[in-house]
Amino acid sequence: MIKLLEGKNILITGSNRGIGKATVEFCAKQGANIWAHARSASDDFAQFCQHVAEQHQVTITPLYFDLRDKDQMLVAVKLIKASPFPINGLINNAGITYNAIFQMTNEHNIEQNLQVNFVSHYLMTQYIIKLMSRHGGGSIVSIASTAAIDANPGRSAYGSSKAALLCATKALSREVGQMNIRANTVAPGITQTDMLSSMSDEVIAEAAASTALRRCGTPQEIASVAGYLISDHSAYITGQVLRVDGGM
Protein backbone atom coordinates (compact mmCIF):
# COMPACT_ATOMS: atom_id res chain seq x y z
CA MET A 1 0.00 0.00 0.00
CA ILE A 2 1.31 3.45 -0.95
CA LYS A 3 1.61 5.65 2.11
CA LEU A 4 0.18 9.17 2.29
CA LEU A 5 3.59 10.88 2.20
CA GLU A 6 5.63 8.36 0.22
CA GLY A 7 8.38 10.24 -1.64
CA LYS A 8 7.99 13.42 0.39
CA ASN A 9 10.97 15.12 2.06
CA ILE A 10 9.85 17.49 4.78
CA LEU A 11 11.39 20.02 7.17
CA ILE A 12 9.47 20.23 10.45
CA THR A 13 10.42 23.00 12.88
CA GLY A 14 9.96 22.65 16.63
CA SER A 15 10.10 18.86 16.49
CA ASN A 16 11.23 18.06 20.01
CA ARG A 17 7.85 18.20 21.74
CA GLY A 18 4.10 18.62 21.39
CA ILE A 19 2.61 19.07 17.94
CA GLY A 20 6.01 19.06 16.24
CA LYS A 21 7.04 15.75 17.77
CA ALA A 22 3.69 14.18 16.88
CA THR A 23 4.05 15.52 13.33
CA VAL A 24 7.45 13.83 12.96
CA GLU A 25 5.90 10.55 14.07
CA PHE A 26 2.90 10.90 11.75
CA CYS A 27 4.88 11.93 8.68
CA ALA A 28 7.46 9.18 9.19
CA LYS A 29 4.69 6.59 9.57
CA GLN A 30 3.29 7.85 6.27
CA GLY A 31 6.62 7.36 4.49
CA ALA A 32 8.25 10.81 4.52
CA ASN A 33 11.93 11.56 4.99
CA ILE A 34 12.30 14.33 7.52
CA TRP A 35 14.62 17.08 8.69
CA ALA A 36 13.58 17.41 12.33
CA HIS A 37 14.47 20.75 13.88
CA ALA A 38 15.21 21.48 17.52
CA ARG A 39 16.80 24.56 19.03
CA SER A 40 19.64 22.67 20.71
CA ALA A 41 21.12 19.20 20.53
CA SER A 42 20.23 16.52 23.07
CA ASP A 43 20.70 12.77 23.34
CA ASP A 44 16.97 12.30 23.92
CA PHE A 45 16.04 14.08 20.69
CA ALA A 46 18.69 12.27 18.65
CA GLN A 47 17.49 8.92 20.02
CA PHE A 48 13.87 9.83 19.28
CA CYS A 49 14.75 10.62 15.65
CA GLN A 50 16.74 7.41 15.28
CA HIS A 51 14.00 5.27 16.82
CA VAL A 52 11.22 6.70 14.63
CA ALA A 53 13.39 6.44 11.50
CA GLU A 54 14.18 2.78 12.16
CA GLN A 55 10.59 1.98 13.08
CA HIS A 56 9.21 3.32 9.80
CA GLN A 57 12.26 2.77 7.55
CA VAL A 58 12.70 6.41 6.58
CA THR A 59 15.51 8.93 7.00
CA ILE A 60 15.22 11.48 9.80
CA THR A 61 17.99 14.05 10.07
CA PRO A 62 18.12 16.21 13.22
CA LEU A 63 18.84 19.88 12.54
CA TYR A 64 19.76 22.24 15.34
CA PHE A 65 19.34 25.99 15.07
CA ASP A 66 17.83 28.92 16.92
CA LEU A 67 14.93 30.48 15.03
CA ARG A 68 16.02 33.87 16.34
CA ASP A 69 19.42 33.52 14.64
CA LYS A 70 19.36 34.06 10.88
CA ASP A 71 22.91 32.77 10.42
CA GLN A 72 22.07 29.45 12.09
CA MET A 73 18.98 29.14 9.93
CA LEU A 74 21.02 29.67 6.76
CA VAL A 75 23.51 26.97 7.80
CA ALA A 76 20.59 24.55 8.19
CA VAL A 77 19.22 25.49 4.77
CA LYS A 78 22.63 24.78 3.21
CA LEU A 79 22.59 21.31 4.77
CA ILE A 80 19.15 20.68 3.31
CA LYS A 81 20.32 21.94 -0.08
CA ALA A 82 23.31 19.56 -0.01
CA SER A 83 21.12 16.58 0.90
CA PRO A 84 20.29 13.89 -1.70
CA PHE A 85 16.62 14.40 -0.81
CA PRO A 86 14.94 17.31 -2.68
CA ILE A 87 12.76 19.19 -0.21
CA ASN A 88 9.10 19.38 -1.12
CA GLY A 89 7.46 19.97 2.25
CA LEU A 90 7.82 22.52 5.06
CA ILE A 91 5.85 22.52 8.29
CA ASN A 92 6.42 25.73 10.26
CA ASN A 93 5.46 24.51 13.70
CA ALA A 94 7.87 26.03 16.24
CA GLY A 95 6.37 28.70 18.43
CA ILE A 96 6.05 30.28 21.84
CA THR A 97 3.03 31.46 23.77
CA TYR A 98 2.39 34.38 26.08
CA ASN A 99 -0.66 35.31 28.12
CA ALA A 100 -1.19 38.77 29.58
CA ILE A 101 -3.74 41.53 29.26
CA PHE A 102 -3.01 44.24 26.70
CA GLN A 103 -1.86 46.85 29.23
CA MET A 104 0.56 44.42 30.90
CA THR A 105 2.25 43.29 27.67
CA ASN A 106 5.62 44.97 27.27
CA GLU A 107 7.74 45.57 24.19
CA HIS A 108 10.00 42.58 24.86
CA ASN A 109 7.02 40.19 24.96
CA ILE A 110 5.64 41.61 21.72
CA GLU A 111 8.97 41.34 19.93
CA GLN A 112 9.63 37.79 21.15
CA ASN A 113 6.24 36.56 19.95
CA LEU A 114 6.60 38.23 16.57
CA GLN A 115 10.17 37.01 16.08
CA VAL A 116 9.56 33.34 16.87
CA ASN A 117 5.96 32.92 15.71
CA PHE A 118 6.12 35.06 12.58
CA VAL A 119 9.44 36.50 11.41
CA SER A 120 11.39 33.24 11.70
CA HIS A 121 8.73 31.34 9.73
CA TYR A 122 8.59 34.07 7.12
CA LEU A 123 12.35 33.89 6.57
CA MET A 124 12.54 30.09 6.63
CA THR A 125 9.74 29.90 4.09
CA GLN A 126 11.60 32.32 1.82
CA TYR A 127 14.72 30.13 1.97
CA ILE A 128 12.85 26.87 1.39
CA ILE A 129 10.79 28.20 -1.52
CA LYS A 130 14.02 28.79 -3.45
CA LEU A 131 14.84 25.09 -3.07
CA MET A 132 11.31 23.88 -3.78
CA SER A 133 11.08 25.90 -6.98
CA ARG A 134 14.06 23.97 -8.37
CA HIS A 135 12.42 20.61 -7.75
CA GLY A 136 8.95 21.01 -9.18
CA GLY A 137 7.14 22.62 -6.25
CA GLY A 138 5.88 21.53 -2.87
CA SER A 139 3.63 22.33 0.05
CA ILE A 140 4.06 24.68 3.01
CA VAL A 141 1.98 24.33 6.16
CA SER A 142 2.20 26.83 9.02
CA ILE A 143 0.77 26.08 12.45
CA ALA A 144 -1.06 29.14 13.72
CA SER A 145 -3.85 29.27 16.33
CA THR A 146 -7.54 30.02 16.69
CA ALA A 147 -6.31 32.92 18.85
CA ALA A 148 -5.34 34.61 15.58
CA ILE A 149 -8.98 34.57 14.52
CA ASP A 150 -10.94 34.81 17.75
CA ALA A 151 -8.85 37.56 19.43
CA ASN A 152 -9.05 36.03 22.89
CA PRO A 153 -8.64 38.41 25.84
CA GLY A 154 -5.17 38.16 27.35
CA ARG A 155 -3.60 36.85 24.15
CA SER A 156 -3.12 40.00 22.11
CA ALA A 157 0.62 39.60 21.50
CA TYR A 158 0.43 35.88 20.79
CA GLY A 159 -2.71 36.14 18.68
CA SER A 160 -1.29 39.03 16.68
CA SER A 161 1.87 37.09 15.84
CA LYS A 162 -0.24 34.19 14.60
CA ALA A 163 -2.60 36.51 12.71
CA ALA A 164 0.40 37.90 10.84
CA LEU A 165 1.24 34.34 9.84
CA LEU A 166 -2.28 33.84 8.46
CA CYS A 167 -2.05 36.96 6.30
CA ALA A 168 1.45 36.18 5.02
CA THR A 169 0.44 32.62 4.10
CA LYS A 170 -2.64 33.79 2.20
CA ALA A 171 -0.57 36.30 0.20
CA LEU A 172 2.19 33.74 -0.33
CA SER A 173 -0.22 31.18 -1.78
CA ARG A 174 -1.21 33.63 -4.50
CA GLU A 175 2.38 34.43 -5.36
CA VAL A 176 3.83 30.92 -5.59
CA GLY A 177 0.93 28.92 -7.01
CA GLN A 178 2.39 29.26 -10.50
CA MET A 179 5.49 27.46 -9.18
CA ASN A 180 3.33 24.53 -8.10
CA ILE A 181 3.87 25.49 -4.46
CA ARG A 182 0.91 25.50 -2.07
CA ALA A 183 0.68 27.32 1.26
CA ASN A 184 -1.90 26.70 3.98
CA THR A 185 -2.34 27.31 7.68
CA VAL A 186 -3.65 25.08 10.44
CA ALA A 187 -5.29 26.86 13.37
CA PRO A 188 -5.47 24.54 16.40
CA GLY A 189 -7.81 25.25 19.25
CA ILE A 190 -7.00 24.22 22.80
CA THR A 191 -4.57 21.32 22.50
CA GLN A 192 -2.83 19.11 25.05
CA THR A 193 0.71 20.49 24.80
CA ASP A 194 3.22 22.16 27.12
CA MET A 195 1.73 25.50 26.14
CA LEU A 196 -1.22 24.75 28.41
CA SER A 197 1.12 25.19 31.38
CA SER A 198 0.61 28.95 31.05
CA MET A 199 -3.12 28.48 31.75
CA SER A 200 -4.88 27.49 34.96
CA ASP A 201 -6.73 24.19 35.23
CA GLU A 202 -9.97 26.14 35.55
CA VAL A 203 -9.38 28.05 32.32
CA ILE A 204 -8.40 24.83 30.48
CA ALA A 205 -11.52 23.02 31.70
CA GLU A 206 -13.74 25.95 30.72
CA ALA A 207 -12.19 26.15 27.25
CA ALA A 208 -12.53 22.40 26.69
CA ALA A 209 -16.16 22.45 27.83
CA SER A 210 -16.91 25.25 25.36
CA THR A 211 -16.06 23.05 22.36
CA ALA A 212 -18.68 20.97 20.57
CA LEU A 213 -16.66 17.83 21.37
CA ARG A 214 -16.26 18.84 25.04
CA ARG A 215 -12.53 18.10 25.19
CA CYS A 216 -9.05 19.33 24.30
CA GLY A 217 -7.43 18.23 21.08
CA THR A 218 -4.32 16.07 20.95
CA PRO A 219 -1.03 16.80 19.16
CA GLN A 220 -1.67 13.74 16.98
CA GLU A 221 -4.95 15.22 15.75
CA ILE A 222 -3.19 18.40 14.65
CA ALA A 223 -0.30 16.44 13.13
CA SER A 224 -2.57 14.37 10.91
CA VAL A 225 -4.13 17.50 9.42
CA ALA A 226 -0.72 19.07 8.75
CA GLY A 227 0.39 15.83 7.09
CA TYR A 228 -2.72 15.76 4.92
CA LEU A 229 -2.04 19.33 3.72
CA ILE A 230 1.52 18.35 2.79
CA SER A 231 0.28 15.33 0.86
CA ASP A 232 -0.89 15.18 -2.74
CA HIS A 233 -4.39 14.33 -1.49
CA SER A 234 -4.79 18.08 -0.83
CA ALA A 235 -3.35 19.10 -4.21
CA TYR A 236 -6.11 21.62 -4.93
CA ILE A 237 -6.08 23.27 -1.50
CA THR A 238 -4.06 26.45 -1.06
CA GLY A 239 -4.39 29.77 0.73
CA GLN A 240 -6.68 28.28 3.37
CA VAL A 241 -6.91 28.41 7.15
CA LEU A 242 -8.14 25.10 8.53
CA ARG A 243 -9.41 25.28 12.09
CA VAL A 244 -8.81 22.11 14.09
CA ASP A 245 -10.57 23.11 17.28
CA GLY A 246 -13.21 20.56 18.24
CA GLY A 247 -15.96 23.02 17.32
CA MET A 248 -15.11 26.14 19.29
Active site residues: 158
**Element (DSSP H or E) covering residue 92:** strand 89-92
> Hey, what's the torsion of the CAs at 224, 55, 36, 64, to 10 degrees?
150
- Measure the CA–CA gap between 156 and 104, rounded to whole angstroms: 11
DSSP 8-state secondary structure symbol assigned to residue 104: G
Spell out the alpha helix ranges (H) of 154-238: 156-176, 201-209, 219-230
C-alpha distances (whole Å) from 76 to each of 116, 137, 167, 183 are: 17, 20, 26, 21
- Measure the CA–CA gap between 167 and 165, rounded to whole angstroms: 5
Number of other CB atoms surrounding residue 171 within 10 Å: 12
The residues near 22 (Cβ < 8 Å, ≥ 6 apart) are: 218, 219, 220, 222, 223
